[in-house]
Structure 1
């Protein structure tokens, strides 16, 4: 057999859930941003997303108390910024200023949009039943914003330990989904 065992601690590098995103929150009028790659679609209509935010993260308390957030999808050009945002806490600093990200007001939630990203999803927390055990929040997307000037943006995918893959060519197949 040509297979060999893979360390269980590295399985996450193989089952990466989707593009790396920036999660913004606001607590007491103070915005924060964190890098997140542990998320997935749960439902189409209304769009529901599940995401894991560790209680060790500064954003955890804001997400829990405010019950809302923005998920912003960064382009490939922000790879270094995304990594730096993910390697520090917003507990003692304004990460928007520190990393040159531009917050914009959202329309339905208190957390800011990120102008530098090609997509922003305004979300409300709809289910916290799995937070005590897994730190898993279910969010309903209330409004989705895209930047029409950015054609075919490339997304980042976390491979672990500072390594990212950039999505590539689109492969089209027959599908019954619309």
Structure 2
């Protein structure tokens, strides 16, 4: 079978680096949540995550001002809430209430964790040098939490324009990682 050209605007749908996440922030005591799929690991120890939050998004101002957030990893069982948060602005909507998400206090940041998510990472901004040009924040993970009861539920991976795929079967191959 011969390969066919792919429009450059669709390249991201092939390279999405990981699961769709729900990024939470809190500014002046008001929590917000946004759907995000443009994040990637940058370092193992300390764990550093790069994430792009557009300056057009309501969450950008809170993240930029407070320098902290939580990355919450949902499973497919709350896919409707994930899509709803991604299609709604926090400027005029309490997304926690609108989509049935339960905020929980974090231990190291003011941004809430989301009870329904498989995992939550409490983060602080450690590098802003790429924000002016690319809206890319480098975050250090300060604390991490997982719910073992949700460990085997598939995560969502964005393919673009409302298309998602679910994480598949886990296989084990030899590894020299420590």
TM-score range, shorter chain: over 0.9
> d(CA) in 1 for partners of 2:43 and 2:74?
22
Higher mean C-alpha displacement, 107-116 vs 149-158: 149-158
Cα distance in structure 2, aligned partners of 1:149 and 1:168? 18
Instruction: State the Cα distance separating 1:2 from its structure 2 match.
Output: 1.1
Q: How far apart, CA to CA, are the structure 1 residues paired with 2:19 and 2:157?
A: 5
How far 1:153 moved relative to its partner? Answer: 2.4
Tell whether 2:20 aligns with 1:20. yes
In the TM superposition, residue 167 of structure 1 has moved relative to its aligned partner by 0.6
The answer as to whether partners of 2:25 and 2:62 remain within 8 angstroms in 1 is yes
- Whether 1:134 aligns to 2:134 is yes
Residue 150 of structure 2: SS of its match in structure 1?
A: coil
Q: Which runs of 5+ in 2 are unaligned?
A: none
- Give SS of 1:110's match: coil
Which runs of no fewer than 5 residues in structure 1 stay unpaired? none
Q: Within 2, Cα distance between the matches of 1:151 and 1:65?
A: 33
Q: Which moved more, 1:76-85 or 1:1-10?
A: 1-10
Secondary structure, counterpart of 2:148 in structure 1: coil
- Superimposed CA distance per residue, residues 148-174 of structure 1 (whole angstroms, 9 cap, x where no aligned partner): 222322110001111100011112111
Are residues 54 and 151 of structure 1, via their aligned partners in 2, closer, same or farther at CA, if it must alter by over 3 Å? closer
What number of residue pairs does the alignment pair up? 178
1:107 pairs with 2:134: no
Aligned partner of 1:35 in structure 2 is 35
Distance 1:42 1:151 in 2: 23
How far the C-alpha of 1:26 sits from its partner, in A, is 0.3
Could you tell me how far apart the structure 2 residues matched to 1:151 and 1:54 are?
A: 30
How far apart, CA to CA, are the structure 2 residues paired with 1:84 and 1:175? 38
Q: Tell me the C-alpha RMSD between the 2 structures.
A: 0.9
Secondary structure of the 1:138 match is strand
Answering whether residue 70 of structure 2 is matched by residue 70 of structure 1, we say yes
CA contact (8 A) 2:118 2:151 kept: no
TM score, norm. by length of structure 2 = 0.98
| Contact in 1 for aligned 2:41/2:48 (Cα 8 Å) | yes
